[in-house]
Amino acid sequence: MVLDEAIDSIRSAAQRHAVPRGKGRKRNLWDTVLAQIAERDSFEGEFADTFLELIREFLAGLSDEAVIDLWCQTETGMGDDPEEQIAEAVRIDLEEELLHEVTKTAWDEAR
């Protein structure tokens, strides 16, 4: 799996994830974050936590080899030798890297 596919999978999960919008209405997480970024150049911090939950769910479905492969595609992991990596050791760092990539994608799309 390539990093772009991972970001697309997480974005799709965010598009399926409903968040309260007020007066009993709901909107999907992705559209909510895009609207907030476009309106105020930021989004509510609780949504970053929700993104992390979606990222953890996504990573839980991947093999150790896929986790290491994704890690080595990130800016931080690019210089690492895949043969020397342990999936559990990079998983938390990969969560943060994916959060960075997902929010960067949201900012790019909102503008």
Render pLDDT for 75-96 as a digit per residue (tens, 0 to 9).
Answer: 899 888 989 999 999 999 999 9
Q: Which residues contact 97 (CB under 8 A, 6 or more apart)?
A: 71, 74, 75, 76, 77
- Per the CB < 8 A criterion, the answer to whether 86 and 73 are in contact is no
Give how many domains the chain has, as a whole number. Answer: 1
Range of the domain at 31: 3-110
pLDDT the model gives residue 24: 67
Burial-class residue 25 by CB neighbours within 10 Å (0-12, 13-18, 19+). Answer: exposed
Render pLDDT for 46-78 as a digit per residue (tens, 0 to 9).
Answer: 999 999 999 999 999 999 999 999 999 998 998
User: Is the pLDDT reported for residue 104 higher than 80?
Assistant: yes
The reported pTM is 0.91
Render pLDDT for 20-48 as a digit per residue (tens, 0 to 9).
Answer: 776 667 899 999 999 999 999 999 999 99
Q: What is the largest CA-CA distance in the chain?
A: 52
